[in-house]
Structure 1
Amino acid sequence: MNSLRTVLRKYQILLKTYPVSTQAIQSGLLMGVGDTIAQICIEKKPLEEFNVKRLFNYSLVGLVYVGPSLRIWYGGLDKMFPSSGRKLQYKKVLVDQGIFAPAFIASILTILMGINGEKPEAIKEKLKQDYKDILITNYKIWPAVMIVNFSFVPVNYQVLVTQTVAVLWNIYFAWKANQPVIKIE
């Protein structure tokens, strides 16, 4: 119990001192956990077929893009809507899910495919094939999470809450992002 308190205290210090870097690292780690679970439990890959490059790339996107983007976005939302109150939290969720989420999902899918060596035509087909399904699934999960997150969680911990819930989301997203592209005529 004492060691858990020590870890939490150190995490809080890192979060206060290096908020973007700390949240970038945690996002990279948690996205990696999601991809690992997707490969082993959902795709049922034997260990010898486990795609380490895919895991690395997925974690890298979390580290370099997702974590910093979420931290900056949530900080910006907090400045845009500085006071609290239920109405304001719903406005935050509406802006987050209506503007940010659609663009963010498309960008993550595009980046993942790009660093995995896919050609622009394949990326375009993948977006045509899966973007709508991913966005609809997003709307089944994230608005409720974000209402709680924006209503009760201080901005410094919002990325942690999001990325913790996102372990499940990342399992789904990693699986969906790595399904073969079927050319749609």
Structure 2
Amino acid sequence: MRGFYKIYKNLLIKYPLGVQAFQTGTLMAVGDQLAQNLVEKRQLKDLDFLRTAQFYAIGFCFGGPAVRTWYGILDKYIGSKGGLVTIKKVAIDQILFAPTFIVLLLTTIGIMQGNDATSIKNKLKNEYTDILWNNYKLWPMVQLVNFAFVPLNYQVLVVQCVAVLWNCYVSYRTNRDPIKNTQ
């Protein structure tokens, strides 16, 4: 295990954005598979591997780079140590980044599902507020710990480990029967 950690640490130093994009994509795909297997209770023959690949692509191309870049911006302009710095980072993260990221995430998922603009708009109307409120039940506490105790290079990993369950929830919410979403 120590050897794996050393390789991971070296790759993270050399290729921070690439490593964090890869791990985010992988953990988003795991979240989707958990949604399909445990929440939706699909049989192996009914699993939607394209959907899982789409979640991987969203994490790799969008989620990982966006979160890593955001944390770098917070670190650069707000700081990296101290209680007040942590509170400021959590507040800014939850007031600015979370609402924007959720809109972009839901829109990206809708596009990858092949939905038209009207369908995506309806999905946002039906899902956004509930997902955002549930975000506020989980992420401020996670980010308090993350920003207070975790070095910048590992913050995306911490968030994505917690986000396996969050991504399971988002995958389920964004892939429910469209008829149910209008109720």
User: Normalized against structure 1, the TM-score is what?
Assistant: 0.96
Distance 1:123 1:180 in 2: 14
Once the two structures are superposed, the pairs formed by residues 133-144 of structure 1 within 5 Å of their partners are 133-144=130-141
From 137, 145, 148, give the equivalent of 1:148: 145
Equivalent position SS for 1:118: coil
**Structure 1: distance between partners of 2:95 and 2:176:** 26
Alignment partner, residue 99 of structure 1 = 96
Unaligned runs of 5+ in 2: none
* In structure 1, distance between residues paired with 2:29 and 2:71: 22
Would you say the 8 A contact 1:130–1:176 is kept in 2?
Answer: yes
Q: 2:87 aligns with which of 85, 90, 97?
A: 90
The match for 2:109 among 96, 108, 112 is 112
The answer for the alignment partner of 2:3 in structure 1 is: 6
Q: What letter matches 2:130 in structure 1?
A: D
- The alignment of Structure 1 onto Structure 2 pairs a total of residues equal to 182
Secondary structure of 1:45 counterpart: coil
Find the residue that maps to 1:129 and give its secondary structure: helix
Equivalent position amino acid for 1:67 in 2? G
Conserved 8 A contact 1:122-1:181:
no
Deviation at 1:180, TM superposition (A): 2.7
Q: Aligned partners of 2:80 and 2:166: how far apart in 1?
A: 29
Q: What is the Cα deviation at residue 181 of structure 1?
A: 2.8
Counterparts of 1:165 and 1:102 in 2: how far apart (Å)? Answer: 18
Q: Distance in 2 between matches of 1:178 and 1:36?
A: 12
> Is residue 80–residue 147 contact of structure 2 (8 Å, CA) maintained in 1?
no
1:181 equivalenced with 2:149 (yes/no): no
The percent identity for this pair of structures is 46
Structure 2 distance, partners of 1:117, 1:108, is: 14
Please give the secondary structure, in 1, of the residue aligned with 2:178: coil
Structure 1 runs, 4 residues or longer, greater than 6 Å off: none
TM-score for both structures, normalised by structure 2 = 0.97
- 1:125 and 1:181 in contact (8 A); partners too: no
**Which one-letter code corresponds to 2:44 in the other structure?**
L
1:54 is matched with 51
Structure 1 residue 83, shift from structure 2 partner: 4.6
Amino acid at match of 2:7: K
